[in-house]
Structure 1
Amino acid sequence: MSRQAPGRRASRRLERRDAIMRIAQEHFLQHGYSATSMSHIAESLGGSKATLWTYFSSKEDLFRYVINAASMEFQRELTVGLAQTDSLEETLLQFCRRLIERIVSPSALALRRVVAAEAVRFPDVAETFYHNVPARLHHVLGALLDPHMRSGKLRTTDPLEAAEVLTSICHARCFWRAAFGLNEDVKAHEIQADAKLAVDVFLRAYSAPGE
């Protein structure tokens, strides 16, 4: 009987670990931390709890890895591809539209809920989510705003603070209705309206005098 090459064994182990995390993420985001058991995850995986223990030392350990991976993916969805356009207003509309689309998605809402629910039990998880998602997003947006402050299109202030203000405005009508389950199917025209409102309010507050 031939033995598997070390590289192939490592690859299979990585694939198995990824499969565990995908299934665990589905369980944690759908049912929450407390209602998810390693037995349920193992059953969905088609293995045993003993298999899970070889990859993760505990349910707590698995939960931390899952939330870290999910928040990193959420951050990539929000920030990859964001770029300046010739028009400041169009740049901001593009950003706000994209942000609202993501934050009202079922997966993003589920991730926020489970992190908020477990923030007291796992403060490190909440901190990881904060640094991976909102803090990273604010820095990316701040970098988009800074050149417009330097050129005089926006009044000179802290670009990071301005970024925090704009993202806060985006968490308005569509987001709150979706967050409370009042609107499970947010329409494109609703997202567009919220994005336009956010940009209008922001530019009224931050446009340089005379612009």
Structure 2
Amino acid sequence: MSVLIGETAPDFQAETTKGPISFHDWIGDSWAFFFSHPADFTPVCTTEMGRTAQLADRFAALDTKPIGLSTDTVEEHLKWIGDINDTQSTNVGFPIIADPDLRVAKLYGMIHPAESETAAVRTVFIIDPKKKVRLTMTYPMSVGRNFDEILRAITALQTSDGKRLSMPADWQPGKDAIIPPSISNADAKSLYPQGWNELRPYLRLTKTQ
């Protein structure tokens, strides 16, 4: 199954390192960073889990809850967390879903048979408080994720929602953003009293702060 942008994220029940969850209830009114990894006690995955834990305050500032998944068991996850904390100098405080029967991984299209029939590739789903999938990323097993980009993308989505703006290539927080063509100049005057720089009738840049 493929989970597409704009769709409601499939709900599920699962065991995690923090106890059983119902996914939609766990998300609550927050955003979610839901990510899979191939296997416990593997090197790239260890660095990714550690980096997620190290960035706990950054995710919290964006009202975003991280949650991991692999096709290992809760018992294996709990043993592995000790290694993550030790080697990455951190403290894993977010839940990791156990999915030994591949049920959730298949539900979210995390199993790519050309890579592995039993291990999940490195998939990312950014899910908003309405439980809508807003962004997806997929990395191969040999390449770790770019967490600067993940945080940037969440910030961009939240800024876009709050200010009715679109984000240009390489947008960073505080930089100018784009007034969408769907907003007329008349409406833009009230929405963006700070004004805008009109490079073309379809390309209007305005400040985000």
TM-score, L = length of structure 1: 0.27
Q: Which has more radius of gyration?
A: 1
